[in-house]
Chains A and B, each alone.
Chain A
Amino acid sequence: MKAQAGSGLLTIAEKEFFDHIRSKKFLLIFGIFLVIAIVGMIGGITDYNKNLDTYNGHRSVATSSAMPGFFADKPSILSVFGTVATYLVYLGGILGIAMGFDLITKEKESKSLKILLSHPVYRDEVINGKALGGIFALGCALGVVLIISLATLLIYGIIPDTNEMLLIAVFGAVSFLLIFSYFAIALFMSTVSQDSGSALIYTIIIFIALSVLVPTIAQDTVMDTVIGSQPALPQELLDQMQVSVNSTTTMGVFAVKASNAIGGDKDSAGSGAWQKFNQQMQAYWEKRQAVHDSLALFSPSMNYDTVVSGVTATSTGDVINSPGMSAVSFSVSGKQVTDTGDIVGKIAGNVVALLLFPAIFFGLAYVRFMRLDVR
């Protein structure tokens, strides 16, 4: 017999990996996952092609007519993955739960945990090995989905450039984190529950709370109830102003800017009222955004939505310039033209939250398992 450091961990991880990929529940959910991903991709590609045709039409008009100021973004290939993400946010969660909810309870129920722990392996090797096996299986499942998605793109003649490939990789990584988050929650529930049925029920309750309840609370109507409606425009301003409102919407922040025509420097009283109104409005939306962001941190699904929106709703930066005009970028979504670095910077907070979620639950599962009395 030879002693090899860490070989227990790898042996357990290897067994868990093959247990996962051979299990009927995994194959069934993965099969559904794959079919939905392909259908989503095809739907997304169809939409993308339509948008591309529209864009090309607008572009030809803009460039040939020498009309200044017509700007539009070229549709992004990433928008195709946005369609897949709408399915993945639920089905991925279910896959993660299905793979994790009985990892420990199954061992308790089959009485194999006692046998397993009587071998020369450390307890942390057992829980880490189980997590590692699950991570490999999840990674494989997601890898296959991404490869098939890319293959579908190529079949339709769409070839992503390097920047888009990087963003697709980011999409894959955060999708993995989402699934791993629910896997970690399920694993924790498996360590604290007496049987698989209880573990599954508890995990589903948490899944519903995080993926449905928290986003519902963060919705407009509930938010209005919690923090109140936005400030109304004072009557005196409504009465006196000639309105020219230039409004933009960026990530839920509503900004109102009064032009000089409303009064401005000509009417210091009116200007003061506007300034006050603007401050109230800004404070309101900042508060609202802060509450939303705080809530989002507690929901892997919301973090995932935010990250995926950031990744998939980007333009390519192909700003149309009419001859002789200075380039001004304007995006329908309100986002400025960005590159991969900018996007990653914007979503970093949510990515960190997505990293923290599985880390916390895996940590809890680890501590619980290490203290488990095996009787």
Chain B
Amino acid sequence: MIQLEHLSKEYNGLPAVSDLTIGIPEGEIFGLLGPNGAGKSTTILMLVGLIQPSSGRCLVDGIDVAKDPIAVKQRIGYMPEDVGFYPTLTAVENLAYFAKLYRMDREPAKKRIAELLALTGLDGVTKEVGGYSKGMRQRLGLAKALLNDPSIIILDEPTANLDPKGVADYRRIITAVAGEGKTVIVSSHILAEVSRISTSVGILSAGRLVAHGAWEDLAETAGQGTHATVTLHIETLDPMPEISRTGILSITYSRDRLKATVVAESDLRDSLAEILIAHGTRLRGLSRESRSLEDLFLSYYEAAA
């Protein structure tokens, strides 16, 4: 269980995170969302004990990070944004060094490192990390985050440099470790990525938490469940017929297109097409869109602003 209580951080008098209070239950895959500069990385750095909060506190399994950072760090596996390693060492040497810092015994550490490198597709790579691509470093970062078999995994922009296969591997790995009951916190500004794996999210904007909860609840609150847009592309029809039906909230016309905002439960595509065809035109295309994730989050950001 992770609890952030009235957490604030200022840099040179400017607030980076303001009065952030949030609880993340055990076993959750929690997405920390927000645009660049929203305070995601600062929040994570405070949670990992790398920077001190200006006020408030972070509790991990009831332990105050500021008071006992070592105990918290033993429980956490962390992968920073733009992850870096010792460039003159190989992946195995890097991980072996970190395993020593976790006080892991030599043989179990050796076995664990081999498993993790195989899991992240880096087994057999013997060159120094300085010669790695960004994507390979990201994979190694994931292996590092899992090295001590932590109960809490914190990943800051984990897919930023991964290719599609890397992203797919990452999803598979995170889903698997979450299945073992571990808590995963993923910070990202890539909404689609977070939406695919996380069970709940917190949305930060300008250092403030503007929304927090399960996906469905947030979508409902933001109106994603109430509106949809139906668009019909037709041959020129002049004049356009007056259309009035239950479920249609508003409608706009042009000579070759009709766009209707409808209630989400109504699928009015067939009936609208029938009306237009009855008026002597032909249908060229038809689509229905719910509000996109981007719309959803933009609505939160705009509300916060």
Whether chain B is bound by chain A comes out as yes
Q: A1-B104, A7-B103, A19-B88 are in contact. Are A374 and B73 (CB under 8 A)?
A: no
Q: Which residues of A contact B51 (CB under 8 A)?
A: 373-375
Q: Which of A114-122, A241-249, A262-270, A334-342 touches B?
A: A114-122
Q: How far is the CA of A187 from the CA of B74 in the complex (A)?
A: 29
Tell me the residues in window 57-108 of chain B with beta carbons closer than 8 Å to chain A beta carbons.
70-71, 73-74, 76, 78, 80, 82-88, 97-98, 100-105
Q: Give a binary string over A119-154; 1 marks a CB under 8 Å from any B CB, 0 the rest.
A: 111100000000000000000000000000000000
Q: Which residues of B contact A114 (CB under 8 A)?
A: 50, 80, 84
Q: Separation in Å of the B81 CB from the closest CB of chain A?
A: 9
- A11 in the interface (beta carbon within 8 A): yes
Contact, CB under 8 Å: A115 / B80: yes
Contact, CB under 8 Å: A122 / B70: yes
Q: Separation in Å of the B45 CB from the closest CB of chain A?
A: 7
- B208 in the interface (beta carbon within 8 A): no
Q: Separation in Å of the A194 CB from the closest CB of chain B?
A: 15
Contact, CB under 8 Å: A11 / B50: no
CB-nearest residue of chain B to A373: B51
- B201 in the interface (beta carbon within 8 A): no
Q: How many residues of A contact B (CB 8 A)?
A: 27
Q: Which residues of B contact A12 (CB under 8 A)?
A: 101
- A162 in the interface (beta carbon within 8 A): no
- A8 in the interface (beta carbon within 8 A): yes
- B48 in the interface (beta carbon within 8 A): yes
Contact, CB under 8 Å: B74 / A120: yes
Contact, CB under 8 Å: A119 / B85: no
Q: A15-B97, A118-B48, A374-B51 are in contact. Are A2 and B84 (CB under 8 A)?
A: no
- B3 in the interface (beta carbon within 8 A): no
Contact, CB under 8 Å: A115 / B50: no
Q: Separation in Å of the A205 CB from the closest CB of chain B?
A: 28
Q: Give a binary string over B99-120; 1 marks a CB under 8 Å from any A CB, 0 the rest.
A: 0111111000000000000000
- B144 in the interface (beta carbon within 8 A): yes
Contact, CB under 8 Å: A374 / B50: yes
Q: How far is the CA of A11 from the CA of B93 in the complex (A)?
A: 13
- B148 in the interface (beta carbon within 8 A): yes
Contact, CB under 8 Å: A120 / B97: no
Contact, CB under 8 Å: A2 / B105: yes
Contact, CB under 8 Å: B98 / A115: yes
Q: How far is the CA of A22 from the CA of B144 in the complex (A)?
A: 24
Q: Which residues of A contact B80 (CB under 8 A)?
A: 111, 114-115, 118
- A3 in the interface (beta carbon within 8 A): yes
Q: Separation in Å of the B262 CB from the closest CB of chain A?
A: 47
Contact, CB under 8 Å: A1 / B50: no
Q: How far is the CA of A176 from the CA of B14 in the complex (A)?
A: 46
- A65 in the interface (beta carbon within 8 A): no
* A112 interface neighbour in B70, B84, B100, B104, Cβ under 8 Å: B84
Which residues from chain B sit less than 8 Å from chain A, CB to CB? 11, 41-42, 45, 48-51, 70-71, 73-74, 76, 78, 80, 82-88, 97-98, 100-105, 141, 144, 148
Question: Closest 9 A-B residue pairs measured CB to CB?
Answer: A111-B84, A119-B101, A120-B73, A118-B78, A11-B100, A112-B84, A120-B70, A374-B50, A110-B84
- What are 16 A-B contacts with C-beta separation under 8 Å? A1-B102, A1-B105, A2-B103, A12-B101, A111-B82, A111-B84, A113-B84, A114-B84, A115-B80, A115-B85, A118-B73, A119-B101, A121-B101, A373-B11, A375-B42, A375-B51
Which residues from chain A sit less than 8 Å from chain B, CB to CB? 1-4, 7-8, 11-12, 15, 19, 22, 110-122, 373-375
